Structures are given as structure tokens and as C-alpha cells.
Amino acid sequence: MERFELHPLLAADCRPVGDLALSHVLLLNDCRYPWAILVPRRAAVREIYQLDDADRRCLLEESCLLGEFMMRAFRGDKLNIGALGNLVPQLHLHHVIRNEADPAWPGPVWGHSAAVPYAEGLLAERVALLRDGLGLEG
């Protein structure tokens, strides 16, 4: 059986937050949006429907846990969830907190403009906040 390895493009664009039961949690390095990504640790899966029933449900619960926490923590106006993966052939689920004052509002964040990296202190702070909120080890 093929071993799961995080796709290098996701590794390059994100900071690891920690591991839920099924998924890696990543924070995208774009300071304009609180933007986390779930990556199920399953090799060779590109679509949600390719997961078995137990994994599908686990991903759903992890998505709801993450999304609800982020909406509260970052006082979002709307949560945007997306499974695109046209360029990265590994299943990953975006969770983006949107605000009416954000640069892409009300359009989609995908394809809008290049990421603006965090200052290091802010990135570490946000990772810690997510870790705490999701009950993950530091």
C-alpha cells in the first residue's frame, strides 16, 4: 500500500498546525485571510467520494469542528469551504474565513491574487490559536 506523504506544494505554502484523527491541519501562509486546510492522511486519494464511509464521516466532522471554531475565533462573516485540487493531486479541503472587508469579498479567494505572507510572530500566534482551539498538542 502506498504511503501517505504531504504534497510538496501544500508543504511549501503552509505551516503545519497538527494532526486530527484523519487529517493534517495546515495554515496557509496568507495573512489576509484566516485560511486552514485539512489533508486526510490517505495515499492516492483525490476526491472525497474515494474515501471509505468512516473516513468520509471523519473528514466531515473535522471540517465542522475546524470551520465552526474558526468562524468564532476570527469573527467571520462567512465560511468558504472548497475542494478544488486542479493543480495539487492530493485531496485537501480549504476553510477560509471571509469578512466583508477582505480584499476578495464577495468574490472567491481562489484565483484572486497572490498570497501576502505573515510576519513570523503573527503566523506562530495564529498556529498556536488553532492548536489550542482544536485541542492539538503543541
Instruction: Please state the separation of Cα 30 from the chain's center in Å.
Output: 12
Q: Taking the complex as a whole, how short is the minimal distance between the CB of residue 119 and a copy of itself, in angstroms? A: 27
Q: Taking the complex as a whole, how short is the minimal distance between the CB of residue 32 and a copy of itself, in angstroms? A: 15
* Contact pick of 47, 114, 121, 137 for a copy of itself (by CB under 8 A): 47
Within 49-108, which residues bind a copy of itself (CB under 8 A)? 49, 56-57, 60, 63-64, 67-68, 71, 78-87, 98, 105-108
Residue whose C-alpha is closest to residue 45's, from 6, 80, 89: 89
Task: Give the span between the Cα atoms of 110 and 128, in whole angstroms.
Answer: 25
Q: Residue 93's CB: how many other CB atoms inside 10 A?
A: 22
Task: Give the span between the Cα atoms of 100 and 134, in whole angstroms.
Answer: 25
**Is residue 133 involved in binding a copy of itself (CB under 8 A)?**
no
For CA atoms 22, 89, 9, 81, the dihedral sign is: negative
Complex with a copy of itself: residue 72 or 117, whichever CB lies closer = 72
> Residue numbers of the site for a copy of itself (CB under 8 A)?
46-49, 56-57, 60, 63-64, 67-68, 71, 78-87, 98, 105-108, 110-112
